[in-house]
Every structure is written in C-alpha cells, then in structure tokens.
Amino acid sequence: MTTTRIHRRHALKLGAYAALALSPAARLLARDRSRGFPIGACDWSIGRSQQLAALALAKEIGLDGVQVSFGEKGVRYDLRNPDVRQEYADACEKLNVRIASLAMGVLNSRPYASDADAEQWVADCIDVMAVMNQKVVLLAFFGNGDIKDNPAAQQHVISRLKKVAPRAERAGVVLGVESWLNADEHLRILDAVGSPAVQVYYDVANMEMRGYDIYKEIRQLGRERICEVHAKENDSLLGQGKVDFPKVKEALDDIGWTGWLIIESANPAGRSVVENYKLNRQYLRSVFPA
C-alpha cells in the first residue's frame, strides 16, 4: 500500500470518529463521562434478566443504573415493543434509575458469526437504541459464540460488523465486542471493520482469567476503543479477588476514560444478591469517586 493511500485511509478514519463525536449519542456519552463513573449492574447478575424488576432492585441496592438485556423476539419485556419501552421509561423516571446500556447475551447461544436471526437482532437492537436514546450495546462472544482461535468465525464477524456499522453510525450508537480475545486480537477486528461505531466492551475479570495484563491492555486500547467496562470478579466480592481495581482506575485515568462501570458476577454464596451488591457498590465507589 502506498504512503498516499495510508494517509488517505487514516484521514477517513479520523473523519469517521469526528462524525460520531457530533452524534446525539456521543454527546450523551460525553455527558455521562463528565459525571465521572456512574455504577450499574447487569440485569442477569442481579437475577432479573430482561425483567423490569431489575430497575427496582437496582434502586434498593443504590445503583445508578442497569445494563438491560436485549434478546429474542416475543418475550414479555421485548424492547422492540414500544409499550415495553414506555414501561422502562416510566420506571426509570419513577425510581430515578437509568438504563446504562443494553446487552445481547443471547449471542452466546445464537452466534453472531453464523446465525441469521442473530444478525438481524443486532440490526433490530440498533434501531431500538436510537429511539431509546441509548449509546452502547454489548455483543457477547462466549459459549457457542466464542471466536477465540477461530479465524474463520472472526472473519464472518468482521464481515457482518462492516455491513451493520454504517447503520450504527447513523443511529449514533456503539457496538461493544466482548470476547476472550486479547487486546491485539480485538484491535485487529476493530481496524478491519474501520468504524468508530465498533469498540471493545472491556471485562476486567474475563481478561485477567485469560492471563492478560489488563492494566497494559486498557492503556493499549485507549479511550476511543473502550465503550464500557464490566467491574467483575468471578468468585468473590469486588476488592477481594484477583483484579486490582485501584490499578484499573490508574490505567483508565492514564487514557482519560470515564463512564459506566457495570458490576457483573461478584456474588459469592453466604449473602443475598442485594447484600453482596451493596458491598460491591460501596467498594467500587471508594475507588471511583462520583
């Protein structure tokens, strides 16, 4: 590739990021970041996957918001349904709790790389996010959807993301890839797609479990490539496991990143989920002041 083509490609990429920065979703994301580190929880981690009751439980715990599941069509709280969206909006207003982001855990069983329905569901989710004023959706790549050490599946994911990315850009939303891939592998996918609407959803416990240097990876990915963070431990409360959250804070500070911290797992036996998550929230807030 000639130097001129490289410069042109770089300029186009910068232009795409600038366009996203002007979008309504990016302005809202900037507003959230200006508030520091709002703390939420995954609806599935508090036992209320794709249920409106997750908002009331988040209020009881003292969280700022909830990461809400977006799945197959036709379930009771299918966000494709405008009446369901209104129920969520009314509950958020009543409880003073926000929807932090959406998540497509359904892709763990219906792989985005190969399932035709899953491909359409991601497009559906983008349209729903636009009307809900949401900015980020987690695309999960675990279980049946795992693409680690599978170049063919990764290429299918790249092809599908390239196809849907313009739709996400027009809607002003970000698709966050969460997988077992390391930072280099994630960056290869992001660079191949070439859209600011596709970023990494960074899960500190998953990456630590794979043996990656999570503090180095956060710095490597940088502010513009991380859309949201899962504050997670698998078998312990936050602050009592393998992840050094003060070091996570240092790494995020170094790249100038602030935004939603979504607590996942960190629910050891012996206490209720409410008790555990109150402790998790208290610890996380001690490290990440409001």
Q: Please write the tens of the pLDDT for every residue from 159-216.
A: 999 999 999 999 999 999 999 999 999 999 999 999 999 999 999 999 999 999 999 9
Number of helices followed by number of strands (H, E) in the chain: 11, 8
Of the candidates 158, 151, 70, the residue with the CA atom closest to the CA atom of residue 112: 158
- Cα dihedral angle (49, 178, 189, 115), rounded to 10 degrees? -30
The three-class DSSP label of residue 49 is coil
pLDDT of 21 > 70? The answer is no
Of 35-44, 153-162, 187-196, 252-261, minimum mean pLDDT range: 35-44
Q: What CATH code would you report for 3-287?
A: 3.20.20.150
Q: Where are the domains of the chain?
A: 3-287
d(CA 201, CA 186): 10
pLDDT band for position 35 (cuts 50, 70, 90): low
Q: Tell me the one-letter amino acid at 146.
A: D
Whole-prediction pTM value?
0.89
Q: Please write the tens of the pLDDT for every residue from 47-96.
A: 999 999 999 999 999 999 999 999 999 999 999 999 999 999 999 999 99
d(CA 152, CA 142): 16
Identify the bridge partners of residue 175 per DSSP, sorted by sequence position: 137, 198
* Encoded tokens for 11: 């300029």
Please report the pLDDT score of residue 137 as a whole number: 98
Q: Tell me the one-letter amino acid at 47.
A: G
pLDDT of 289 > 60? The answer is yes
pLDDT band for position 3 (cuts 50, 70, 90): very low
Please report the pLDDT score of residue 251 as a whole number: 98
d(CA 83, CA 219): 42
Q: Please write the tens of the pLDDT for every residue from 264-285.
A: 999 999 999 999 999 999 999 9
Q: Please write the tens of the pLDDT for every residue from 95-107.
A: 999 999 999 999 9
